[in-house]
């Protein structure tokens, strides 16, 4: 934990060194002592400390300084750190001015120069001031702080990225907190830069303006560049299937890299609660599952690149070469595709325009607290929608699940249906579909078509979360890997038609169970044609595929 700061200001370098020396001698174990030889420089320093979220316990300034005296400095400094104790250093001739400052300018104390011996003329009084300051001191948050607004899509993307990558941060909504004195002081310290939202502030004092997830990823140390150019196994996609393959592959000696476009965990990582995963009778969150799997993979030496996007792949002999969005390439002998699926878009006027400003695809874990006391709409009837509804019900006044059918029975697990029935602030709206979203800068209303009455009802809404089926993102494999009409990857027996191997197949064997039409390229999890869309099945496929990869590599 960073130590609180004692700031001394004096234009006389000899006096400044003396006061710093005495402060460090007595208080150096509990406080950081910082000196400045000009009040202007000290004010700039205080603004930097405010941006860094440091704590200032004491400001000690000489009264006689050119351009700005000690009283004026302390009054200006008090605007930035109002809780800091304020004291003057003054000569005997200026004692009357110092007394006047205490009475009129809210100065806590004054010290006469010279203060020798400090044990008699400095430390006792400072002890009292600092004890008083410590009585109300609360350590500040030391991690990353994100300044933005709730209805900003870029702010949402940034918070969602940090949360899914398990990077601790503090969110400051500058509109909601506009009247908060601390937020005001922080924005004043930032000056004109505060307009470049979202702003990300780091503990070391650096900041990123109009921040993007990729910029923050580099700053916080997420790996976006591969350490080498070649791997035994490269995995594209970091959901449960990809993470399982990474763990099993690396634990069995394969030099493994995993490339993830957003954050490890995939859609499962966004689930607020998974209660039917074997071995966790009390359930666990998707975030927890992803975090555990990442730690396990890294323990076995898996190199995880995130956020990094694969945009193409080609073959050269026994090498499978992945092209990345940044122009770099990674080659491997065996390639596994486990990119999962992404939510199907809801096609209705206003949806795309208000995405990230009240309309969201997926779990929206970062938005749950913001929905306190509101009505939240969840579109979709599968398990992901049910898990999200249960999570939002902890905060929202009411959660409304919109489904096209007449019930949840055919699309959701029974345990979730039972939980929803037992939750009084969750309402099911059957035979309903969203046909339009309304709002200028953020979602304000939605129009819902009731298919049983053929009427459209327009209702107030500030938050809507969409879970309406999923489609694979496999366009980057076009021309190389065979897919079905919806884009899911064909593997194993699905590639053999009328007893014939797929076109271009050269090995003297059938494709392995989870192998594509290209030898050495495998597909597992939700992206694969015919897969069971469950976390456990994805983990199973990822682990089983490693055995086929070993067989393939033994012949390379």
Is residue 56 situated within a structural domain? yes
CATH number at residue 433: 3.50.50.60
In a domain, 225, yes or no: no
Taking the CA of residue 445 as centre, how many other CA atoms within 13 Å lie in the half-sphere pointing to its CB?
Answer: 9
Helix (H) or strand (E) holding 57: strand 56-62
Residue 289 lies in a domain: yes
Domain assignment present for residue 352? The answer is no
Say yes or no: 129 and 149 in one domain: no
- Summarize pLDDT for 334-359 with one digit per residue, the tens: 999 999 998 899 999 999 999 999 99
Last residue of a domain, one of 81, 112, 136: 136
Point out the domain boundary residue: 466, 483, 514: 466
pLDDT digits (tens, 9 = 90+) for 365-396: 778 888 989 999 999 999 989 999 999 999 99
User: Which residue's structure tokens are 């934990």?
Assistant: 1
CB atoms within 10 A of CB 174: 21
Whether residues 188 and 249 share a domain: the answer is no
pTM for this entry? 0.84
Do 273 and 393 lie in a common domain?
A: no
Per residue in 490-549, pLDDT (tens digit) is 999 999 998 899 988 999 999 999 999 999 999 999 999 999 888 999 999 999 999 999
Summarised one tens digit per residue, pLDDT across range 252-297 is 999 999 999 999 988 777 777 788 888 888 888 888 999 999 999 9
The phi, psi pair for 552, rounded to 5°, reads -65, -45
Q: What pLDDT score does 364 carry?
A: 66
Query: In this structure, what token pair is assigned to residue 167?
Result: 């990077």
Asked if the structure places residue 353 within a domain, the reply is no
H or E stretch at 434: strand 432-438
- 354 domain-assigned: no
* Statement to judge: residues 132 and 149 lie in one domain: no
Are 480 and 335 within one domain? yes
Within this chain, do residues 477 and 331 fall inside the same structural domain, yes or no? yes
Residue 438 and residue 367 share a domain: yes
- Do residue 11 and residue 130 come from a single domain? yes
Closest CA to 546 of 341, 223, 258, 224: 258
Q: Provide the number of structural domains found in the chain.
A: 4
Beta bridge partners of 460: 445
Per the structure, the complete domain to which residue 15 belongs is given by 5-136
Residue 351 lies in a domain: no
- Specify burial of residue 404 (Cβ count, 10 A radius: 0-12, 13-18, 19+): middle
Residues 234 and 166 in one domain: no
Q: What angle do helix axes 70-80 and 39-51 make, rounded to 10 degrees? A: 10
Task: Judge if 181 and 247 occupy the same domain.
Answer: no
Residue with more model confidence, 397 or 272: 397
Nearest-angstrom CA–CA distance, 203 and 188: 18
* Same domain for 180 and 66: no
Q: How many CB atoms lie within 10 A of CB 502?
A: 15
Is 390 in the same domain as 422? yes
High-pLDDT (> 90) share of the chain, %: 77
User: What's the pLDDT tens digit per position in 454-503?
Assistant: 999 999 999 999 999 888 999 999 999 999 999 999 999 999 998 899 98
208 domain residue, yes or no: yes
**CATH code of the domain containing 9:** 3.40.50.2300
Q: Please, which pLDDT band fits residue 93 given cuts at 50, 70 and 90?
A: low
Look at residues 415, 437, 466 and tell me which one is the last residue of a structural domain.
Answer: 466
């Amino acid at each position: 934990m960073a130590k609180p700061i004692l700031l001394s200001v004096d234009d006389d370098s000899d006096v400044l060194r003396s006061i710093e020396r005495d402060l460090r001698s007595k208080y150096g174990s509990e406080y950081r002592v910082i000196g400045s030889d000009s009040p202007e420089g000290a004010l700039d320093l205080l603004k930097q400390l405010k941006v860094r979220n440091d704590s200032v316990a004491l400001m000690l300034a000489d009264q006689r300084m050119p351009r700005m005296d000690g009283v004026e400095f302390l009054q200006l400094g008090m605007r930035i750190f109002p809780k800091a104790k304020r004291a003057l250093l003054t000569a005997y001739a200026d004692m009357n001015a110092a007394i006047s400052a205490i009475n009129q300018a809210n100065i806590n104390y004054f010290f006469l120069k010279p203060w020798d011996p400090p044990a008699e003329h400095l430390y006792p009084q400072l002890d009292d001031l600092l004890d008083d300051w410590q009585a109300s001191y609360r350590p500040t948050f030391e991690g990353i702080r994100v300044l933005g607004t709730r209805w900003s899509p870029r702010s949402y993307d940034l918070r969602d990225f940090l949360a899914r990558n398990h990077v601790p941060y503090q969110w400051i909504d500058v509109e909601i907190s506009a009247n908060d004195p601390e937020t005001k002081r922080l924005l004043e310290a930032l000056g004109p830069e505060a307009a470049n939202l979202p702003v990300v502030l780091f503990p070391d004092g650096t900041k990123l303006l109009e921040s993007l997830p990729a910029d923050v990823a580099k700053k916080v140390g997420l790996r976006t560049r591969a350490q080498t150019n070649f791997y035994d196994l490269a995995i594209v996609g970091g959901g449960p299937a990809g993470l399982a393959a990474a763990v099993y592959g690396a634990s069995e000696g394969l030099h493994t890299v995993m490339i993830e476009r957003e954050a490890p965990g995939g859609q499962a990582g966004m689930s607020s609660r998974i209660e039917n995963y074997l071995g966790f009778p009390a359930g666990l969150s998707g975030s927890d599952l992803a975090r555990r799997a990442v730690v396990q993979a890294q323990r076995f030496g898996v190199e995880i690149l995130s956020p990094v996007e694969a945009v193409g792949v080609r073959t050269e002999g026994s090498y499978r070469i992945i092209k990345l969005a940044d122009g770099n390439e990674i080659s491997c002998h065996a390639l596994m595709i486990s990119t999962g699926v992404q939510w199907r878009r809801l096609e209705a006027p206003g949806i795309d325009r208000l995405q990230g400003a009240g309309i969201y695809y997926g779990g929206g874990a970062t938005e749950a607290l913001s929905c306190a006391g509101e009505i939240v709409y969840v579109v979709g009837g599968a398990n992901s929608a049910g898990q999200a509804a249960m999570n939002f019900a902890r905060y929202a006044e009411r959660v409304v699940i919109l489904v096209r059918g007449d019930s949840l029975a055919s699309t959701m697990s029974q345990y979730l249906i039972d939980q929803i029935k037992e939750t009084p602030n969750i309402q099911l709206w059957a035979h309903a579909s969203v046909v339009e979203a309304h709002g200028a800068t953020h979602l304000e209303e939605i129009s819902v078509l009731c298919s049983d009455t053929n009427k459209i009802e327009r209702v107030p809404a500030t938050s809507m979360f969409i879970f309406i089926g999923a489609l694979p993102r496999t366009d980057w494999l076009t021309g190389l890997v065979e897919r079905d009409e919806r884009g899911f990857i064909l593997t194993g027996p699905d590639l053999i038609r009328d007893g014939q191997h797929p076109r271009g197949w050269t090995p003297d064997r059938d494709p392995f169970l989870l192998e594509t039409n290209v030898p050495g390229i495998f597909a597992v999890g939700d992206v694969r044609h015919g897969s069971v869309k469950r976390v456990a099945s994805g983990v199973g496929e990822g682990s089983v595929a490693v055995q086929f990869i070993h067989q393939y590599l033994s012949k390379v």
